[in-house]
């Protein structure tokens, strides 16, 4: 029997982070959490690239360009979609999630959904470095684990 499992070994990994500026008082904290998680697990500071998108809706396209470049072992998307008073919420959050999933399946590069989707600002604050952890840090763990797992799994034959 063969068991594959990704380890939290970041050494040698090249990681890109696509961050959205919308709600940047939250996304800056997610970005800081993601960077911290990568550095603490052995990713070299010089191997981390950050690209800023206007909003979460644009993250899949930025992630696609980064993933398809062949220069990164994983891409992390960080954003904050807050329901608040906007009627946009379902569209932005849904399209962002679906687009990110599509990019990782199309490119074969892990693309992590580090996008908060919350009812209000308070929940977003809680999940970006206060009492409910930091979604950016968690996303860094997922990126490292997936990159390490894909390093081990058999390559596609086509």
Q: Just list the catalytic residues.
A: 88
Indicate the SS3 state at residue 113: strand
Nearest residue to 116 via CA among 30, 16, 25: 30
Residue nearer to ligand INI on the CB measure, 88 or 102: 88
Of the ranges 6-14, 73-81, 106-114, 136-144, which one interacts with ligand INI (CB under 6 A)? 73-81
| One character per residue 5-44, x = contact with ligand INI (rule: CB under 6 A) | ---------------x-xx---------------------
Q: Choose which of 10, 37, 60, 79 interacts with ligand INI (CB under 6 A).
A: 79
Minimum CB–partner distance for residue 93 and ligand INI (Å): 8
Q: Which helix (H) or strand (E) holds 76?
A: strand 74-82
24-40 and 135-152 helices, crossing angle to 10°:
40
CA 20/CA 79 separation, integer angstroms: 5
């Amino acid at each position: 029997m063969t068991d594959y499992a990704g380890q939290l070994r970041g050494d040698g990994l090249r990681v890109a982070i696509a961050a959205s500026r919308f709600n940047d008082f939250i996304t800056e904290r997610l970005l800081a959490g993601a960077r911290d998680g990568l550095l603490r697990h052995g990713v070299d500071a010089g191997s981390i690239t950050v690209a800023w998108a206007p909003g979460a809706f644009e993250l899949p396209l930025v992630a696609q360009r980064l993933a398809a470049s062949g220069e990164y072992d994983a891409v992390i998307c960080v954003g904050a979609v807050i329901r608040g008073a906007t009627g946009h919420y379902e569209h932005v959050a849904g399209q962002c999630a679906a687009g990110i999933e599509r990019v990782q399946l199309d490119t074969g590069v892990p693309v992590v959904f580090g996008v908060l989707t919350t009812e209000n600002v308070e929940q977003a604050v809680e999940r970006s470095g206060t009492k409910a952890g930091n979604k950016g840090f968690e996303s860094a763990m997922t990126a490292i684990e997936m990159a390490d797992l894909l390093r081990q799994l058999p390559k596609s034959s086509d």
